[in-house]
Amino acid sequence: MTTLLTYKITPFLPYRSKNYIYFETPGAEWLKRIFSKLLKKHEKELVSKRVDTTLFHGHISNSNSKTQRFPFIQYIHKENEFFVTGINEGAFALKTLLDYFQVSAVFVDDLYLEFHLLPVTEIEMKNTNCFYKYKIVNWLPFLNDECLDFESKSLKFKTEFLEQKLMDHITKDFNYYLSLSLYDTKIKIHSITEFPHTISLKHNENFRMITTEMFINIYLPDYNCFGNKKSIGFGLVERIK
105 or 48: which leads in pLDDT: 48
Res 52 pLDDT > 60: yes
Q: Enter the pTM of the model.
A: 0.88
The 10 Å Cβ neighbour count of residue 210 is 22
pLDDT value for 38: 92
pLDDT digits (tens, 9 = 90+) for 80-120: 899 999 999 999 999 999 999 887 678 776 778 899 999 99
Q: What's the pLDDT tens digit per position in 152-208?
A: 888 899 899 999 999 998 888 888 888 899 999 999 998 888 765 677 776 667 888
By CB neighbour count within 10 A (0-12 exposed, 13-18 middle, 19+ buried), where does 11 fall? buried
Query: What is the CATH code of the structural domain delimited by 126-239?
Result: 3.30.70
Task: Find, among 149, 134, 160, the residue nearest to 225 by Cα.
Answer: 134
pLDDT-derived band at 65, boundaries 50, 70, 90: very low
pLDDT at 64: 45
